[in-house]
């Protein structure tokens, strides 16, 4: 995307997010033909529409993340000082909430404990999935090493 079009894209993403929420896939669906009409038409004609959609979703996520980071810098000053030591240990400024299919700023999560609970449960579930995957990789590693010794 040309640099002069990047700012137009950012504005389009943020305006669309204001209407449909911070769900990157929903935003991409709403703007893809508007943001790049010729590219979209060519991608459809060549069967590359899925790849284009994935790329647009990725770019939308980047725009959202950057704008949420900017908003969180302001919002951090609004966080109760009692919570700041905990918030500072977090690795991200936003967390995914499944029920609304959006990444939500920590400052908003603090103000909406039900969303905070959902976000922590989602992260916990993802952590368990990562541990299970790591265990399977460990099992595969051992099997590969065992087979190597047997050959």
What is the distance of C-alpha 129 from the center of its chain?
Answer: 18
CB atoms within 10 A of CB 31: 19
Given this model, what pLDDT does residue 4 score?
A: 54
Given this model, what pLDDT does residue 75 score?
A: 62
Given this model, what pLDDT does residue 70 score?
A: 59
Which letter, b or e, does each residue of 97-129 get, where b requires 16 or more Cβ atoms within 10 Å of its Cβ?
beeeebbbbbbbbbeeeebbebbeeeeeeeeee
Question: Which residues share a beta bridge with 97?
Answer: 102
Q: How far apart are CA 122 and CA 114, in angstroms?
A: 12
Given this model, what pLDDT does residue 64 score?
A: 83
Given this model, what pLDDT does residue 71 score?
A: 57
Given this model, what pLDDT does residue 69 score?
A: 60
pLDDT tens digits, one per residue of 58-99: 989 888 877 766 555 556 677 888 998 999 899 888 888 999
Q: How far apart are CA 59 and CA 53, in angstroms?
A: 10
**Ranges of each domain in the chain:** 1-76, 80-151
Given this model, what pLDDT does residue 109 score?
A: 93
What is the distance of C-alpha 55 from the center of its chain?
Answer: 13
Q: Are 106 and 93 in contact (CB under 8 A)?
A: yes
Q: What are phi and psi of 133, to 5 degrees?
A: -65, -40
What is the mean pLDDT, run by run of 10 residues, along the chain of 151 residues?
Answer: 62 86 87 85 88 90 75 67 91 86 87 96 95 97 90 64
User: What's the first-to-final CA gap in the chain, in angstroms?
Assistant: 52
Q: How far apart are CA 15 and CA 88, in angstroms?
A: 30
């Amino acid at each position: 995307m040309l640099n002069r079009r990047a700012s137009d894209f950012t504005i389009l993403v943020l305006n669309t997010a204001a209407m449909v929420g911070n769900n990157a896939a929903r935003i991409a669906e709403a703007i893809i033909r508007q943001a790049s009409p010729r590219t979209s038409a060519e991608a459809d004609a060549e069967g590359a529409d899925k790849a284009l959609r994935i790329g647009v979703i990725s770019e939308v996520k980047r725009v959202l993340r950057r704008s949420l980071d900017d908003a969180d810098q302001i919002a951090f000053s609004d966080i109760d000082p009692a919570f700041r030591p905990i918030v500072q240990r977090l690795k991200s400024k936003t967390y995914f909430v499944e029920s609304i299919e959006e990444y939500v700023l920590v400052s908003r999560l603090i103000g909406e404990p039900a969303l905070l609970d959902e976000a922590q449960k989602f992260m916990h579930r993802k952590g368990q999935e990562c541990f299970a995957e790591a265990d399977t990789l460990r099992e595969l590693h051992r099997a590969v090493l065992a087979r190597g010794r047997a050959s």
